Amino acid sequence: LQALYLLNDAFVHEQSQRVAGRVMAQTADAKKRISNAYELLFARPPVSDEVAGGIAFIERAQARLREDGMTDGVEKEAWCAYVRVLFRLNEFVYLD
């Protein structure tokens, strides 16, 4: 149930918009945005595979949104989706 909550809840979507907006406002460089998101959410830098996976996700999300006919806000929506993915990582949900 927790995974469904993090996928569908309006509060989670609102918070992902806030985090994505914050990350996007800091820089236009995707690698730096991903690094900033990791620092903000996990208090650590991402490893190279995480950066590569993040960039690939953003590119696929933007392409998918454009295929679905979205023209305005594609970049922001892709980053919001990426932040929601980060919210669902065990590292974010559970404390060690």
pLDDT of residue 4: 66
pLDDT of residue 38: 97
User: 68 — phi, psi (to 5°)?
Assistant: -80, 0
Top-confidence residue, 1 or 23: 23
Q: To 10 degrees, what angle do helices 48-67 and 30-42 make?
A: 110
CB count within 10 Å of CB 9 equals 11
pTM equals: 0.90
pLDDT of residue 10: 87
Block residue for tokens 């404390």? 95
Summarised one tens digit per residue, pLDDT across range 22-77 is: 999 999 999 999 999 999 999 999 999 999 999 999 999 999 999 999 999 999 99
Q: What are the residue ranges of helices labelled H in the chain?
A: 2-8, 10-26, 30-42, 48-67, 74-87, 90-93
Kindly provide the b/e burial profile for residues 57-89, where b requires at least 16 CB atoms within 10 angstroms of the residue's own CB: bbeebbeebeeeeeeeebbebbbbbbbbbbbee
